Amino acid sequence: MRPLRPILACTTAIALATAALAPSPATAQMAPVLEGSRVLISMIVQTALSFARTAVQLTYDGIAVDARSGEVTITGLTLHPELDWDSERACSVRIERVTLADGGRFDRIDGLLGLSGVTVPSACLDPGSSTIAAALGFDPIVAETVAIDAAYDVASSALSLDITASLADAATITAAADFDYFYFQNVSIDQEAVADGGEEAIEDAEPLAILSSAEISLVNRGLFESVEPMLNAQLGDLSAVPAIAQAGLMGALSQGSAPTPETVAFVEQVTAELARFVEQKDSIVVTLAPEVPVLLEEELFDDPVAAITALSPRVGALPAARDAVVPLSTVEIGLATPEALSPAERLALGRALLTGEGAPRSREAAIALLEGLSSAGDSDAALLLAEAYAAGRVYDRAYASALQAMAGGKAAAVPMADAMEAKLDLAAIIAAQEAVGGIAEDAALIEAGDLGGMRALAERLVAGLNGPRHYADALYWASLAAAGGDRAAAALIGRLDRRFLARDEETATWGEVSAAVSARALATWSAGLAARVTPQP
């Protein structure tokens, strides 16, 4: 672990600086100001690099900062880590280009660490690994590109992690994992360790990880051919590799007991895929696809059979994402005559076109497919449509689609609608709500004089949970409840007034809404509600 600390310190320092510089929604409009402050921004990055120098000797050729996108690029980075076995200080890691970027959102940490032209001499490896690398012809080890993408949703603590490394004349290695929940618990800081330089400063950190899927793949680009002479010398015949692996894996998994059917099936699959890989020298993929998300605990891995049952591992030649590729015939039909597809097929194709997963990304084609479904009341299509319009910065249409999805009970549409409201003026918000509609007049509430029910309905209409969001209707029901003496409803009216009068100084839209609602509420009050909620003389 010790040799990694300098590199980790360097990466952490730069990443922290990048996160601090990334434009949030509030600062995105200040891009010209940030552009004019490049010197200050560069100073912040240089300070981060100075912090990294406390752990490792480093130099670099230059820094470029894109204040609008929050991307930092460092060129010609050279690291000279201090290693126990490298008394001559021959280890010099060269990285031609380092790119760090952050999505710049309050609710999501969406970051990239990209490395290009990485050269690691064998002196940086421990003596045993160095000897093997040199024997295989990998001295130095050259990585054409290394990319680490991480997306962390702050609200749900969900984490998506993708790592890709392309090793020159060797292999492309990818690893991906999706966690429904990921965080560290029981974290404590050793202040003395911090004062001494930061080593082992974090103690007792226990990851809490709920895994939904994971995959690691290796695509051969010369590695197998380099290893083949060594394997032939040791085994005599590479065809023996699958049988050797089968015996070892079966023994490790069964642990002296009779193997379960799940164990036998898994070992047979691994053996078959190894035989294929040895013959074809192409690629091999290990996928974990549990039926339900799995809490990763030490106890799970103490029992290999339980781990296999829970994680459902499988081995193959292709990544699982290939299973999601939409057939070309379906794509062609969907683009030419979408009505020939079933609603489920149109929804799946629209999602693939929107995300670029399963079909080439085309936001325009996705919108064309989803519009009809959304108009027919498909709330899933409405939610996807909201995402498509938001990505294209068509905020009024994104908001209208989010309202339709909310009307269909889609909770994920609520934060989307909130984000769009921050970008629209009140007149556009009210117009969109009127177009989608609120709820029908609830005669039962009025007939019963149920003030609490009226106030609860007003709250739901404000939030947009399990139904549409409609501020005018919310004000109407809150006005009726407040007139009958419901203090919480009166407080809600006050919150609505403060919120919308403050942002509506130019168009007076809220004043118009309030006047129309007042007339409607007075009519309802006079038509019989007053008699039901107040004592009559």
Cα–Cα dist 326/318, whole Å: 16
* Number of helical (H) and strand (E) elements in the chain, helices listed first: 23, 14
pTM: 0.73
pLDDT tens across 116-142, in order?
999 999 889 998 888 888 888 898 999
Q: Residue 119 has which token pair?
A: 């050269």
Give the β-pairing of 206-220 and 202-203: unpaired
Positions of the chain with pLDDT under 50: 1-9, 12-37
Cα–Cα dist 358/503, whole Å: 43
Comparing CA positions, the residue from 65, 82, 83 lying closest to residue 74 is 65
Comparing CA positions, the residue from 98, 171, 92, 102 lying closest to residue 124 is 92
Rg (CA), the chain: 30
Where would I find the H helices in 408-437? 413-421, 426-436
Cα–Cα dist 6/4, whole Å: 6
> In the prediction, which pLDDT does 33 show?
43
- How far is the first Cα of the chain from the last one, in angstroms, to the nearest whole number? 84
- Which residues have C-beta within 8 Å of that of residue 206, sequence separation ≥ 6? 184, 185, 186
> In the prediction, which pLDDT does 31 show?
44
> In the prediction, which pLDDT does 28 show?
41
> In the prediction, which pLDDT does 301 show?
82
> In the prediction, which pLDDT does 203 show?
56
Q: Residue 113 has which token pair?
A: 């660490």
Cis check: omega of the bond before 229, within 30 degrees of 0 = no
> In the prediction, which pLDDT does 53 show?
83
> In the prediction, which pLDDT does 216 show?
95
Comparing CA positions, the residue from 144, 150, 198 lying closest to residue 172 is 144
Comparing CA positions, the residue from 383, 374, 371 lying closest to residue 417 is 383
DSSP summary character for residue 296: -
